[in-house]
Amino acid sequence: MSLPQTVLLVLAASGLAALAFLQWYQRHATLARLDAVLGFPASEASFGVASALQWIGAKVPGGSDESLQTALTRAGHFQPGALPMFVALRLICAAATFGAALFQAERLTATTLIIAVFLTFFVSRAFVILIKLKAERRERLLRRELPPVVDILLMVLNSGISIDQSLRYATGMLERTAPLSTAVLKRYVADVDSGVPFETAFERMGQRFAIDEGYDLAHLIKQSLLQGGEIMASLESFGAELADKRVAAAREQIGRKSVLLTLVMLAFFMPVLMITLGGPAVSQIMLTLKTAKHEIHARETRR
Q: Residue range 206-228: average pLDDT?
A: 82
296 in a domain, yes or no? no
Q: pLDDT-based confidence at 70, cuts 50/70/90? A: confident
Over the chain, what is the mean pLDDT? 76
- Residues 6 or more apart whose Cβ sits within 8 Å of residue 201: 188, 191, 192
In a domain, 81, yes or no: yes
Q: What is the pLDDT of residue 46?
A: 45
Quote the CA–CA distance of 126 and 93 in Å, as a whole number: 11
Q: Above 70 in pLDDT, residue 253?
A: yes
Contact 123, 93 (CB under 8 A): yes
Mean pLDDT of 172-180: 81
d(Cα 117, Cα 95) in Å, to the nearest integer?
10
Are both 108 and 218 inside the same structural domain?
no
269 pLDDT tier (thresholds 50, 70, 90)? confident
Of the residues 226, 243, 260, the one at which a domain ends: 243
Residue 61 forms part of a structural domain: yes
Longest dimension (CA), the chain: 113
Query: Based on the domain organization, do 18 and 62 belong to the same domain?
Result: yes
Is residue 265 in a domain?
Answer: no
Over 70: is that where the pLDDT of 98 sits? yes
Indicate whether 4 pLDDT > 80: no
**pLDDT, tens digit, for every residue of 14-52?**
666 666 666 666 666 666 655 555 554 444 444 566 666
pLDDT in tens, 99-150: 777 777 667 777 777 887 888 888 888 888 888 888 888 888 888 888 888 8
Indicate the number of domains in the chain. Answer: 2
Alpha carbon separation from 160 to 156, 163, 166, 234 (Å, rounded)? 7, 9, 9, 16
* Residue-range definition of the domain harbouring residue 110: 3-137
Q: What is the mean pLDDT of residues 201-227?
A: 83
The pTM (predicted TM-score) of the whole model is: 0.63
- For residue 109, give Cα distances in angstroms to 101, 102, 116: 12, 10, 11
User: Are 132 and 165 found together in one domain?
Assistant: no
Residue 205 is assigned to a structural domain of this protein? yes
- Give the pLDDT score at 165: 83
Tell me what pLDDT residue 170 has: 82
